Amino acid sequence: MYKSTKVHRYAELILCMPISADEFEELEEETNAEVIVKFLSENEDKAFKASEIAGATDVDRNSVHPVLKRLRERELVRHKPPYWTVGDMEKVRAAYELHSVSSYLDSKLGEERREDWVDG
């Protein structure tokens, strides 16, 4: 999600139709990591400062650095101070595919709970 102007948000409120409670429950919210990787992937020919990433996305500026550091550990982003860019696109695709399969299985079989795996 990208930040929109006040005019855009007002227009969205006027033009939006309410949804049912069931539709609401089915909505999936993207994680900060997903939003950042998506933004950087869509701009793979550029590198950004963390503050620019925060400004271009709805990710809280205090959350951007910790998320970027975790993504760098997974090689999904690259960093040359003070700039960040998308990492190896094959790794990004593989991470997306794993996430998609996991989400699909969770929706069909139910989410796993840690308590089910840990002896108590």
pLDDT, position 12? 54
Q: Is the bond preceding residue 82 a cis peptide, omega within 30 degrees?
A: yes
Residue whose entry in the numeric block shows the structure tokens 């997306």: 96
Indicate whether this model's pTM tops 0.75.
no
Domains of the chain and any CATH numbers: 30-111 (1.10.10.10)
Note down pLDDT in tens along the chain; length 120 residues: 455 555 555 555 555 667 777 766 666 688 999 999 999 999 999 999 999 999 999 899 999 999 999 999 999 999 999 999 999 999 999 888 887 778 777 778 888 787 877 775
Instruction: Please state, in angstroms and rounded to a whole number, the distance separating the CA atoms of residues 96 and 91.
Output: 8
pLDDT, position 45? 97
pLDDT, position 97? 84
